[in-house]
């Protein structure tokens, strides 16, 4: 594949014909083509409102806190997290001036030579993923150079006795910390590290991240499940709680997506092993609804009936992997969860319908699944669902200075937080749901878990 310099207008991406299985504008009834275009414009305007506030109140910092109107830097000094995470969304929305300004900031100000311990997983999905995707969209070689520098500085994280990465690595010294981690953090690195190998020709990144994924899978229980806590030095599980929620979620996502992105058969085999047992032990039905709860990884015994905002990514993965019926049913349940209070809670007991954690962190997962289902089924229902969610998203989370998380979806009390994934994911998936399908050649890319599209090597 040729990765020569291209203008940032995504020429190669948007000329690819959309396969007939995907939605066409004329197939819509619930939201017609005209309304979809209007909705895409509204999403773009709302994105810009949040972006302008970030620009005026926190430019150059990791995040804007929208209620106090103050910047926040994760590690006491900025790694430009919001600019890096948002850049490909700016490009996809056609916001050329804003994208150019942001790219210039990154090109001239970003340095990873910092004496700070960063979280390998978060920096990989947000920063490495963001830089690689923006490089593929723009052809700006400085972005690839930054990604390569970052990749090198993250590599020491994998120097454990098991090959499972430590949670934290110091970007300057290469020292590591945090032996206690989880499958999401050990197993959701290969899309980014593998793409870095593909673009630089240096195998080491792919090999280290693949080994971490394989070592995670290898430690599954006799019945085939993984827990949500593991020690990278001993390789022993420190928590046997098994689910598809935070701490495990993107591990499953990457098994399937690494097959799709790289055509890696080991990943396909690991996915095939896993999805059968996930469906067997974690799927649950309550009042005729499909949910995925928690079970013990060794016995498969149900331990809790909770599901939440993070779990709502799973319909997207099920649909992408061809399980459309399950995907549809689970999405219906997620949408019920959303509608209980007009915005989804972080955690819900799906049997009693009692909220166990009432916060809403402006998470994207339910929107992501709505977008996948729309693209893969073509059913207008999903654009209607998206319209309804976007309306309440604006109603409850918009402030005069950007979007604010909710302390409680019940009282709608706000929280002083707007994480970078709001720009990378939440607005991007809303936009792509309503924008013409040709905005992004869905069949030619794979999104990392932070919604950064990476170009596929193989398409099948
Ligand atoms: C994002 O950083 C990623 O989507 C991750 O996989 C899960 N958490 C947030 C969004 O909710």
Flag whether pLDDT at 400 surpasses 50. Answer: yes
DSSP at 34: H
Distance from the alpha carbon of residue 251 to the mean position of ligand 1, in angstroms: 12
- Residue from 63, 189, 363 whose mutation best tests the ligand 1 pocket (most atoms within 8 A of CB): 363
- For residue 457, what pLDDT band results from cuts at 50, 70 and 90? confident
Instruction: Write the pLDDT tens digit of every residue in 193-213.
Output: 999 999 999 999 999 999 999
Quick check: is 346 catalytic?
yes
Residue closest by Cα to atom 11 of ligand 1? 363
Distance from the alpha carbon of residue 191 to the mean position of ligand 1, in angstroms: 15
Flag whether pLDDT at 16 surpasses 80. Answer: no
Instruction: Write the pLDDT tens digit of every residue in 23-39.
Output: 333 333 489 999 999 99
Cα–Cα dist 183/239, whole Å: 11
Give the pLDDT score at 4.
28
In the predicted model, what is the mean pLDDT of residues 352-374?
A: 98
Instruction: Write the pLDDT tens digit of every residue in 307-358.
Output: 999 999 999 999 999 999 999 999 999 999 999 999 999 999 999 999 999 9
Give the pLDDT score at 30.
81
Instruction: Give the neighbor-by-neighbor strand order of the sheet with 294-296.
Output: 241-242, 294-296, 302-304
Residue 247, SS3 per DSSP? coil
What are 15's two structure tokens?
Answer: 């000329």
By the 8 A CB rule, do 419 and 413 touch? no
By the 8 A CB rule, do 51 and 431 touch? no
Q: With a 6 A CB cut-off, is 346 part of the ligand 1 pocket?
A: no
Quick check: is 365 catalytic?
yes
Distance from the alpha carbon of residue 220 to the mean position of ligand 1, in angstroms: 23
Higher pLDDT, 392 or 20: 392
Flag whether pLDDT at 19 surpasses 60. Answer: no
Residue 379, SS3 per DSSP? coil
Q: With a 6 A CB cut-off, is 251 part of the ligand 1 pocket?
A: no
Q: With a 6 A CB cut-off, is 158 part of the ligand 1 pocket?
A: no
In the predicted model, what is the mean pLDDT of residues 154-170?
A: 98
Cα–Cα dist 279/449, whole Å: 21
Distances (CA, A) of 100 to 140, 157, 253, 401: 11, 33, 32, 23
- Residue from 123, 347, 425 whose mutation best tests the ligand 1 pocket (most atoms within 8 A of CB): 425
Higher pLDDT, 460 or 204: 204
Q: With a 6 A CB cut-off, is 421 part of the ligand 1 pocket?
A: yes
Give the pLDDT score at 459.
57
DSSP state string for 259-273: HHHH--HHHHHHHHH
Ligand 1: which atom is nearest the Cα of residue 126?
Answer: 2
Ligand 1: which atom is nearest the Cα of residue 253?
Answer: 6
Residue closest by Cα to atom 1 of ligand 1? 450
Q: With a 6 A CB cut-off, is 420 part of the ligand 1 pocket?
A: no
Flag whether pLDDT at 15 surpasses 90. Answer: no
Ligand 1: which atom is nearest the Cα of residue 363?
Answer: 11
- Residue from 86, 192, 310 whose mutation best tests the ligand 1 pocket (most atoms within 8 A of CB): 310
Q: With a 6 A CB cut-off, is 119 part of the ligand 1 pocket?
A: no
Distances (CA, A) of 24 to 28, 103, 200, 374, 430: 7, 33, 37, 10, 17
Please identify which of the residues 63, 365, 417, 425 carries the catalytic annotation.
Answer: 365
DSSP state string for 303-370: EE-EEETTGGGHHHHHHHTT-HHHHHHHHHHHHHHHHHHSS--SEEETTTTEEEE--B----HHHHHH
pTM for the complete prediction? Answer: 0.94
Quick check: is 122 catalytic?
yes
Cα–Cα dist 389/309, whole Å: 13
Give the pLDDT score at 5.
28
Please identify which of the residues 346, 368, 417, 450 carries the catalytic annotation.
Answer: 346
Ligand 1: which atom is nearest the Cα of residue 188?
Answer: 6
Please identify which of the residues 63, 136, 140, 249 carries the catalytic annotation.
Answer: 249
What are 151's two structure tokens?
Answer: 């990749």
Distance from the alpha carbon of residue 291 to the mean position of ligand 1, in angstroms: 20
Distances (CA, A) of 449 to 41, 191, 235, 287, 339: 25, 9, 25, 31, 25
Give the pLDDT score at 22.
31
Instruction: Write the pLDDT tens digit of every residue in 42-78.
Output: 999 999 999 999 999 999 999 999 999 999 999 999 9
Flag whether pLDDT at 104 surpasses 70. Answer: yes
- For residue 458, what pLDDT band results from cuts at 50, 70 and 90? low
Instruction: Write the pLDDT tens digit of every residue in 87-99.
Output: 999 999 999 999 9
Give the pLDDT score at 345.
98
HSE-CB of 18 using CA atoms within 13 angstroms? 16
Cα–Cα dist 273/333, whole Å: 25
- For residue 3, what pLDDT band results from cuts at 50, 70 and 90? very low
Distance from the alpha carbon of residue 213 to the mean position of ligand 1, in angstroms: 18
What are 125's two structure tokens?
Answer: 């999905």
Cα–Cα dist 265/391, whole Å: 42
In the predicted model, what is the mean pLDDT of residues 101-113?
A: 98
Higher pLDDT, 7 or 122: 122
Flag whether pLDDT at 83 surpasses 60. Answer: yes
């Amino acid at each position: 594949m040729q990765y020569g310099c291209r203008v940032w207008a995504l020429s190669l991406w948007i000329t690819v014909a959309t396969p007939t299985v995907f939605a066409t504008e004329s197939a819509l009834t619930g939201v017609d083509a005209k309304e979809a275009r209007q909705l895409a414009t509204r999403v773009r305007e709302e994105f810009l409102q949040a972006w302008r506030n970030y620009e005026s109140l926190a430019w150059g910092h990791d995040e804007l806190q929208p209620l106090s109107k103050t910047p926040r830097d994760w590690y006491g000094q900025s790694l430009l997290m919001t600019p890096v995470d948002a850049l490909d969304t700016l490009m996809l929305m056609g916001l050329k001036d804003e994208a150019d300004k942001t790219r210039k900031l990154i090109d001239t100000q970003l340095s990873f030579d910092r004496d700070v311990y960063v979280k390998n997983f978060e920096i990989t999905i947000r920063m490495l993923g963001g830089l690689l995707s923006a490089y593929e969209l723009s052809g700006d070689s400085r972005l690839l150079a930054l990604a390569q520098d970052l990749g090198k500085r993250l590599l020491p994280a994998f120097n454990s006795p098991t090959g499972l990465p430590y949670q934290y690595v110091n970007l300057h010294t290469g020292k590591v910390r945090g032996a206690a981690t989880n499958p999401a953090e050990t197993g959701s690195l290969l899309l980014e590290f593998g793409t870095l190998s593909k673009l630089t020709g240096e195998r080491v990144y792919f090999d280290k991240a693949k080994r971490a994924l394989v070592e995670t899978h290898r430690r599954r229980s006799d019945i085939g499940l993984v827990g949500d806590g593991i020690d990278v030095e001993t390789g022993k599980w420190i928590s046997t709680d098994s689910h598809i929620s935070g701490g495990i979620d993107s591990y499953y996502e990457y098994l399937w997506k690494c097959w799709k992105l790289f055509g890696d058969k080991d990943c396909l085999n690991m996915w095939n092993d896993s999805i059968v047992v996930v469906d067997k032990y974690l799927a649950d039905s309550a009042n005729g609804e499909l949910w995925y709860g928690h079970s013990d990884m060794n016995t498969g015994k149900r331990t809790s009936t909770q599901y939440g905002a993070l779990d709502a990514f799973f319909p997207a993965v099920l649909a992408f992997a061809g399980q459309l019926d399950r995907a549809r049913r689970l999405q219906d349940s997620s949408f019920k969860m959303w509608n209980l209070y007009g915005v989804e809670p972080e955690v819900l007991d799906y049997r009693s319908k009692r909220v166990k954690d009432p916060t809403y962190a402006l998470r994207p997962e339910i929107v992501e699944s709505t977008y996948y289902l729309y693209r893969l089924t073509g059913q207008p229902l999903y654009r209607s669902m998206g319209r309804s969610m976007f309306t309440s998203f604006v109603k409850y989370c918009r402030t005069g200075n950007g979007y604010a998380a909710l302390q409680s979806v019940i009282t709608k009390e706000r929280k002083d937080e707007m994480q970078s994934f709001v720009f990378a994911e939440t607005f991007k998936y809303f936009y792509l749901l309503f924008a013409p399908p040709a905005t992004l050649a869905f069949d030619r890319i794979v999104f990392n878990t932070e919604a950064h599209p990476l170009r596929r090597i193989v398409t099948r």
